[in-house]
C-alpha cells in the first residue's frame, strides 16, 4: 500500500496546467485494428473496431468497440431500472473492460500529441513526443473503397510500416500515431503484416446525428457537475467527440509521464497479489 501511495503522489506532484483545445469534428473514420501477435483463447487474432475523429487542426483516435459497449451497458441498465420486477441488476462489463482504454490526441501542426489512459477510475494524461516518422513516399497507388491512395514507407516503434494515404483528404492524421503525411492515412500495416489498421469507412460529422438515450445535464433538476453515466463509461473526452462533435482535452486528469504511470500500474498489481 505504501508503494501505491508513493507512486500516486509522484503522479500528482508533476501535474501541471495545460491549455484546453476545442476543435469541431469534421469527419469520422472507422478502422479495424488486428494484432496477430495477440490471440484469443480460441486462437483467433484479436481485433477491435476503432474510430478516428477528425478536426481541422486536431484528431482523436479511440476504441469504437468501447463506445458501443458503453452505450449497450447504458441501455441495459436503463431497461433494468424500468423493469419493476427486477430486484437485482447483473451486468457483464467484460466488453467494456477488454476494449482499448486509451485516447490518442494529435495536433500535428503544433507537434503536440497526448495519450489519455484510465487507471483505477482515474484519468491520466501523458504528453507524447512527436512520432517523427521519416516517411518515404513512393509512386505506388491503390484504391480503398473508391479512395485513391499513395504508398509511404517508414520506421516506427522498431518496425517498418507501410501506410496508404489519401492526398484528396487533407488531414495530416491517421490511426494510432501515424501522422505527418500529406493526406489521411487510410490503411497501415507492418511489413510482416502482423499488425494492421484496415479502413472501415469515412462519414461527415453531423450535428445531433447520435444522441444519448437520456441527457441528465439537460433535465430541469440538473445541477452543475452532473455527468451522464454513459459519458463516464466511455470517457468524457470520447463522449464529447461522439455526442457533441468536439475534440477537447479532458479536464479531470492527472498529467504524468509514461514511466511514472507504468510504475503506478505495477504498484496496483503488487497490491492485488
The structural domains of the chain, with segments of one domain joined by +, span 21-129+194-250
Provide the pLDDT confidence category of residue 8 given band limits of 50, 70 and 90.
Answer: very low
Give helix then strand counts, H and E, for the chain.
6, 13
Distance of CA 99 to the CA centre of its chain: 10
Q: For residues 105-115, give the mean pLDDT.
A: 90
Which residues lie closer than 8 Å to 102 by C-beta, 6 or more apart?
62, 115, 116, 117
Say if residue 32 is exposed, middle or buried (CB neighbours under 10 Å; 0-12, 13-18, 19+).
Answer: middle
Q: For the beta carbon of residue 224, count every other beta carbon within 10 angstroms.
A: 5
**DSSP single-letter state for residue 111:** T
pLDDT of residue 7: 42
Q: ∠248-110-118 over CA atoms, to 5°?
A: 40
* pLDDT at res. 84: 58
Query: What is the bridge-based pairing of β-strands 122-128 and 253-256?
Result: parallel
C-alpha cell at 242: 461522439
Tally the residues of the chain.
Answer: 273
Range scoring the smallest mean pLDDT among 3-17, 161-175, 196-210: 3-17
- Among 155, 157, 196, 154, smallest CA distance to 36 is for 196
Residue 208 grid coordinates: 445531433
What's the confidence (pLDDT) of residue 220?
A: 78
- Alpha carbons 12 and 114: distance in angstroms, whole number: 17
Q: pTM for this structure?
A: 0.86
Quick one: pLDDT band at residue 11, thresholds 50, 70, 90?
very low
For residue range 62-94, what is the model confidence (pLDDT) as tens digits? 999 999 998 888 888 877 767 656 556 666 778
pLDDT at 189 over 60: yes
Question: Can you tell me the mean pLDDT for 190-214?
Answer: 89
Amino acid at each position: 500500500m505504501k508503494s501505491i501511495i508513493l507512486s500516486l503522489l509522484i503522479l500528482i506532484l508533476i501535474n501541471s496546467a495545460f491549455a484546453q483545445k476545442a476543435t469541431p469534428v469534421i469527419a469520422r473514420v472507422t478502422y479495424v485494428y488486428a494484432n496477430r501477435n495477440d490471440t484469443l483463447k480460441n486462437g483467433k487474432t484479436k481485433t477491435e473496431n476503432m474510430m478516428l475523429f477528425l478536426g481541422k487542426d486536431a484528431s482523436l483516435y479511440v476504441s469504437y468497440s468501447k463506445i458501443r459497449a458503453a452505450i449497450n451497458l447504458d441501455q441495459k441498465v436503463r431497461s433494468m431500472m424500468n423493469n419493476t420486477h427486477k430486484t437485482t441488476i447483473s451486468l457483464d462489463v467484460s466488453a467494456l473492460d477488454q476494449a482499448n482504454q486509451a485516447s490518442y490526441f494529435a495536433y500535428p501542426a503544433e507537434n503536440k500529441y497526448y495519450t489519455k489512459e484510465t487507471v483505477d477510475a482515474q484519468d491520466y494524461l501523458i504528453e507524447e513526443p512527436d512520432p517523427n516518422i521519416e516517411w518515404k513516399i513512393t509512386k505506388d497507388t491503390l484504391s480503398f473503397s473508391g479512395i485513391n491512395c499513395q504508398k509511404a514507407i517508414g520506421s516506427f516503434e522498431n518496425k517498418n510500416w507501410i501506410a496508404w494515404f489519401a492526398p484528396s483528404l487533407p488531414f495530416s492524421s491517421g490511426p494510432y500515431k501515424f501522422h505527418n503525411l500529406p493526406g489521411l492515412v487510410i490503411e497501415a500495416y507492418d511489413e510482416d503484416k502482423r499488425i494492421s489498421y484496415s479502413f472501415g469507412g469515412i462519414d461527415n460529422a453531423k450535428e445531433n446525428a447520435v444522441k444519448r438515450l437520456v441527457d441528465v445535464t439537460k433535465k430541469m433538476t440538473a445541477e452543475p457537475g452532473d455527468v451522464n453515466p454513459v459519458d463516464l463509461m466511455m470517457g468524457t473526452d470520447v463522449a464529447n467527440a461522439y455526442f457533441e462533435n468536439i475534440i477537447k482535452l479532458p479536464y479531470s486528469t492527472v498529467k504524468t509521464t509514461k514511466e511514472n504511470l507504468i510504475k503506478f500500474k505495477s504498484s496496483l498489481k503488487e497490491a492485488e497479489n
